[in-house]
Structure 1
Amino acid sequence: MNALRDLPRARLFWPIVTLVALLLLNFAVSPGFFAIRFQNGHLFGSLIDILRNGAPTLLVALGMTVVIATRGIDLSVGAVVAISGALACTIIADSPTPDSLGTVLSAVAVALVFSLVLGAWNGLLVAVFGIQPIIATLILMTAGRGIAMLITEGQIITISSAPYKVIGAGYWFGLPASIVIAGAMFAVAALLTRKTALGLLIESVGINPVASRLAGVRSRGIVWVVYVFSALCAAIAGLMISSNVTAADANSAGLYIEMDAILAVVIGGTSLAGGRYSLTGTLIGAFVIQTLTTTVYTVGIAPSITLVFKALVVIAVCLLQSPALQAKLRSRRVATKGVLA
């Protein structure tokens, strides 16, 4: 009985309830929502679409989680998404053999390496020069779109490369390749942070960077690593997005994805004050965001108020998770019981 009473206070209780409620709402509006069919060796269905479309947000949110765990923030992920897609598509478009696997691998490698350099730049500003993370990453957020525009020369770069299209729109093992890639990155992140000392070091830096440094933890190196990892995740997301539409648009690619990533992290129960974090919570939060977007279209809400609807749901979830609100509700219940007694 006590366990059931304490369940609403669990970190992931309300995010899971929200996700289930959104899924049931979609089912009520569209009875075939949960149907999954197997066709031509591939899985299709609304749930598969949510997983596939939510993969880029999940990737960016994974990197954002470990950055926030160190008391940081990375506002530049949207720009890195645009730069990654722009570089890869430009290299493929300029190549005489766009359908060559070697060309695609080279383009992907260049995009990833350049994005790692951008992540290292953010880490340098934050860890070495001591610039506030929100300011340091705002610099790249502002300049990044300009870099992407320079790469594409202000044009939307369209490509027709079958190997490249696999990343965002192809299938591996019967599942969309984007789901497999996002799942692999999640597994790697979970393995490195929960099966090694890295996760504990990240949390220690986030809880008290001064104390962790005095204890012998190389906090600068940890901070540098998380910003590089965040850029890597954003770069892969950029490859997915540009691959899915077979084009690179420096203006719209990854637009507002940093906001969705931060919301996913917060919904998942990770505190913006740093310290303890939850990758599983981020996973649930990312799919709450994507399911919410799907619900907007399923229910038929006007696109002009989509962001308002999303904001209302996110506010509700955050309020339900709020320790202050839960404490007030508990004290009110105790006071009510005392009066009745």
Structure 2
Amino acid sequence: MTTITRLAKYRLFWPVAILVVLLLSNLIFTPSFFKIEVRDGHLYGSLIDILRFGAPLILVALGMTLVIATGGIDLSVGSVVAICGALACWRISEQGDQNSVGGVLVAVVMALGLALLLGLWNGFLVAGIGIQPIIATLILMVAGRGLAQLITDGQIITINSSPYKEIGAGYLLTFPVPVLIAIVVIVVSVLLTRRTALGMLVESVGGNAEASRLAGIRSRRIKLMAYVFAALCAGIAGLMISSNVSSADGNNAGLWYELDAILAVVIGGTLLTGGRFSIGGTVIGALIIQTLTTTIYTIGVPPETTLLVKALVVTIVCLVQSPSFREKVFKGRRQRPPTPTAPTSDAPTKVEVPA
């Protein structure tokens, strides 16, 4: 067995390989794609842009990972992104001094507090009442988008707040602030799910909720925590997106983010049926989605065909990850060995006649 064959058996091999291929393909169109330089004490480059613009998707996908691991789904994360961004921008626009750090902190706390309440609402519908997750979160997906537009009064709220802009477009120690926030959330998620029993509890609930309940695990509480965490991550992503553009659009902010997050989780190797999950795979999956988006814009794909190209590439990525697909396409079906036949001879058959 070769080294590549052994590596191919690891869960993260194919996502990493696909990400590397996507990154290398950009060299065809942009020879300086991997160039990173320091300007005014800040890191700049295409790779930095992928990390910076991919940070919100990483956060949303992290929350979606735990929800899917419990056997659920959350279609409302895009609406939560829009709601939190709209509420924060509205609160800042209403205060006299938009550059007041205290006022910005109040707006951020209000937005994240509302995100927690929205997560509790989803968790209550799913774990408390027992509504199917796709239906329960679809309610907030539709109503939440309307709530975001209600906060903004159907308009795009534009603000001019330097402290708030630091969340999505600021730099700290030459690194983009969104990237640092994403790293902190990733580290906390890994510590909670892999260094404590929480990760095994989540996987057990997703694998068999009834058996977990009979074993003494409070499966409802685990599910509730997963939806709250997903909403919190979406709320932070909403702050990043709105602060990066210094505005809030209740109609388009976070649009289709739930689908990109689900794709990132699936590409990362987490099954939609629940159970085992991979945080590292989810991060790689989100980076694949963002790299693909950057590549599409780099090569100049027309905007009206962007979603089609993106869907086609994602389909190919998912097929390449499928062991059964690789077995059929690359190795082919194993041929059955020929059926042995009795040897033939031209000599006449000798028949013994009893005396």
The question of a shared fold, defined as TM-score above 0.5 by the shorter chain, is answered with yes
By how many angstroms is 1:4 displaced?
A: 2.8
Displaced runs of 4 or more, over 6 A: none
In the TM superposition, what are the counterparts of 1:103-118 in structure 2 within 5 Å?
Answer: 103-118=103-118
Asked whether the equivalents of residues 37 and 43 of structure 2 are also in contact (C-alpha less than 8 Å), the reply is yes
CA distance in 2, matches of 1:70, 1:16: 25
By how many angstroms is 1:59 displaced?
A: 0.5
By how many angstroms is 1:329 displaced?
A: 5.5
CA distance in 2, matches of 1:189, 1:8: 26
Match of 2:157 in 1: 157
Match of 1:47 in 2: 47
By how many angstroms is 1:2 displaced?
A: 4.7
CA distance in 2, matches of 1:243, 1:60: 17
Match of 2:219 in 1: 219
In the TM superposition, what are the counterparts of 1:179-328 in structure 2 within 5 Å?
Answer: 179-328=179-328
By how many angstroms is 1:323 displaced?
A: 3.5
Q: Deviations over 1:206-227 (max 9, x none)?
A: 0000001100100000000000
Letter in 1 for 2:314: V
Worse overlay, 3-12 or 196-205: 3-12
CA distance in 2, matches of 1:36, 1:4: 30
SS across alignment from 2:181: helix
CA distance in 1, matches of 2:265, 2:60: 10
Gaps of at least 5 residues in structure 2 are 339-355
Letter in 1 for 2:240: M
Task: Specify whether residues 140 and 95 from structure 1 end up closer, same or farther in structure 2 by C-alpha distance, changes over 3 A only.
Answer: same
Q: Does 1:83 align with 2:83?
A: yes
Asked whether the equivalents of residues 171 and 177 of structure 2 are also in contact (C-alpha less than 8 Å), the reply is yes
Asked whether the equivalents of residues 37 and 45 of structure 2 are also in contact (C-alpha less than 8 Å), the reply is yes
By how many angstroms is 1:332 displaced?
A: 3.3
By how many angstroms is 1:335 displaced?
A: 2.7
Asked whether the equivalents of residues 86 and 249 of structure 1 are also in contact (C-alpha less than 8 Å), the reply is yes
Match of 1:335 in 2: 335
Match of 1:178 in 2: 178
CA distance in 2, matches of 1:100, 1:330: 60
Letter in 2 for 1:43: L
CA RMSD, Structure 1 to Structure 2 (Å): 1.4
SS across alignment from 1:335: coil
Count of residues in Structure 1 that have an aligned counterpart in Structure 2: 338
By how many angstroms is 1:330 displaced?
A: 8.2
Asked whether the equivalents of residues 9 and 321 of structure 1 are also in contact (C-alpha less than 8 Å), the reply is no
Task: Specify whether residues 211 and 330 from structure 1 end up closer, same or farther in structure 2 by C-alpha distance, changes over 3 A only.
Answer: farther
Letter in 1 for 2:74: D
Q: Deviations over 1:132-174 (max 9, x none)?
A: 0000000000000111111111111100000000000010111
CA distance in 2, matches of 1:235, 1:125: 19
Asked whether the equivalents of residues 92 and 107 of structure 2 are also in contact (C-alpha less than 8 Å), the reply is yes
Q: Deviations over 1:80-105 (max 9, x none)?
A: 00000000000000001210100000
Asked whether the equivalents of residues 167 and 178 of structure 2 are also in contact (C-alpha less than 8 Å), the reply is yes
Match of 2:20 in 1: 20
SS across alignment from 1:160: coil
Q: Deviations over 1:168-194 (max 9, x none)?
A: 001011111010011111111111001
CA distance in 1, matches of 2:153, 2:330: 59
Q: Deviations over 1:269-309 (max 9, x none)?
A: 10000000000000100000000001001111111111111
Asked whether the equivalents of residues 9 and 326 of structure 1 are also in contact (C-alpha less than 8 Å), the reply is no
Q: Which has the larger radius of gyration?
A: 2
Asked whether the equivalents of residues 327 and 333 of structure 2 are also in contact (C-alpha less than 8 Å), the reply is no
Match of 2:352 in 1: none
Asked whether the equivalents of residues 54 and 287 of structure 1 are also in contact (C-alpha less than 8 Å), the reply is yes
Match of 1:56 in 2: 56
Match of 2:30 in 1: 30
Gaps of at least 5 residues in structure 1 are none
Asked whether the equivalents of residues 75 and 141 of structure 1 are also in contact (C-alpha less than 8 Å), the reply is yes
SS across alignment from 2:188: helix
By how many angstroms is 1:6 displaced?
A: 3.5
TM-score normalised by structure 2 residue count: 0.92
By how many angstroms is 1:327 displaced?
A: 4.8
By how many angstroms is 1:333 displaced?
A: 5.7
Asked whether the equivalents of residues 267 and 281 of structure 2 are also in contact (C-alpha less than 8 Å), the reply is yes
SS across alignment from 2:37: strand
By how many angstroms is 1:316 displaced?
A: 1.1
CA distance in 1, matches of 2:322, 2:119: 32
Match of 1:96 in 2: 96
By how many angstroms is 1:65 displaced?
A: 0.3
Asked whether the equivalents of residues 11 and 321 of structure 1 are also in contact (C-alpha less than 8 Å), the reply is no
Task: Please identify which structure carries the higher helix content.
Answer: 1
Q: Deviations over 1:201-249 (max 9, x none)?
A: 0000000000011001000000000000000000000000000000000
Match of 1:68 in 2: 68
